[in-house]
Copies of this chain bind each other. A is one copy, B any other.
């Protein structure tokens, strides 16, 4: 049996890592969902997610903007208001999230033998 080429796997993993970087981490999904839900402004998003600090939120929003998951618009007026809205592209993530959710649910059954059924479909 010939040794398989690990390098090829590594390169195949690059897109996987991209995706994990984008939705992984403690806050990214929570923030994204908050925006999907209709929260638009910085404070609004911050308040909707307990324990989230402004520093982290600020950084995450910047990342998400770079990844074209959200659009940032500064409204003129005073005091300044900023608006974050989800892109269509961001919505393609929902399928991925659903897949992760399903695997997680089955995994719990596998590990704990928990057969209780709850309606936990993602609602956005």
Contact = CB atoms under 8 A, between A and B. Distances in A.
A121 to B, nearest CB: 7
B19 A104 contact: yes
B20 A24 contact: yes
A124 to B, nearest CB: 8
A68 interface: yes
A56 interface: no
Nearest to A120: B12
Given A4-B38, A100-B20, A104-B17, A68 B12 contact: no
A107 B67 contact: yes
B33 A9 contact: yes
B92 A103 contact: yes
